Amino acid sequence: MTPELYWLAIFIIMIYVGGIWWLSRRLKPDENLLKVIDSLQKLSPSLNERLDNAAHYISQVAKEVGQMNELGRSMRELQIFLQSPKLRGNIGEQVLKDLIAQSFPKSSFYLQYSFKSGDKVDAAIITSAGILPIDSKFPLENFRKMTTAETKLERSEAKKEFSRDVKKHIEAISKKYILPEEGTLDLAIMYIPSEAVYHEIAGTPELLEYAKAHRIYPVSPNTLYLVLQS
C-alpha cells in the first residue's frame, strides 16, 4: 500500500471510531446500542465501497508497478546485451541492411561484399562510377563512459578514448575497403547506427577532418539515404 492510501485508511477509521464515540457520549445507555448499530448499518455500505475502491486502486498500482519493473528489467537486459561489441556490431549491420534494402533495388547493391584480401564490407552500392563501400561501426563503449562520467577529468579521458576508437574505425575502413584497383570509388561511408554517437562525431571537427583526410564519410540512420542520393 502506498503512503497516501495508508494515511487515507487511517483517517477514515479515525472518523468512523470518533463518530461512534461521540454518539455513545451523547445518547442514553439504552439508546446507545440501538443508535450505534443503526449507524454501523448505515456506514457499512459506504465504508465497504471505499475499501473496495481502495483495493481496486491498490491492485491497479501493483499491476503498473509490476509493468515498470518488467520494463526496467528489459532495459537492463538490453544494456547487458549491448555490452558485447560483436552483438552491437550485428545490430548495426542488420539495421544498415534493412535501410539499404528499403531504399534501393536488389540489383544495385551487395551485402557482405568480398574483396580479394578476404575482407568483407557490410554493403556495397553499385554506381555508374564504381562500387561505394559502406561499413557499420558502433563505437559505444567509451561514448557511454563519456556521457556517464561523474567528473570532468573522467569525461575528458573517455572522450579521448572515444576519439581513438573512431579514428581506428576510420583507418580500418580506408585501408580495407577503398580499393580503386578492385573497382571501388575513392571514398567509403562509415555508418553509425546511433544518432547520439553520430552527432558526437559530427560535432567534433578533429574527427571530421580525420575522416575527410582518409576519404571516409560518417553517416547516421537519418542521414544515410540523403548522402547516398547526393
Q: Tell me phi and psi for residue 137, to 5 degrees.
A: -130, 140
**121, pLDDT greater than 60:** yes
pLDDT of amino acid 213: 96
Going by pLDDT thresholds of 50, 70 and 90, the confidence category of residue 107 is confident
CA distance 171 to 116: 19
Which are the contacts of 221, defined by CB distance < 8 A and separation ≥ 6?
Answer: 95, 99, 193, 195
pLDDT of amino acid 78: 43
pLDDT in tens, 122-149: 999 998 899 999 998 888 788 888 888 8
- Model's pTM, two decimal places? 0.60
Average pLDDT of the segment spanning 72-89: 48
Q: Within 10 Å of residue 11's Cβ, how many Cβ atoms?
A: 10
CA distance 123 to 144: 27
Nearest to 136 by CA among 212, 210, 195, 192: 192
CA distance 69 to 79: 15
Q: Within 10 Å of residue 197's Cβ, how many Cβ atoms?
A: 21
Calculate Rg over the CA atoms of the chain.
33
Residues in the chain: 230
pLDDT of amino acid 54: 56
Weakest-pLDDT range from 48-57, 79-88, 165-174: 79-88
Going by pLDDT thresholds of 50, 70 and 90, the confidence category of residue 174 is very high
CA distance 153 to 157: 6
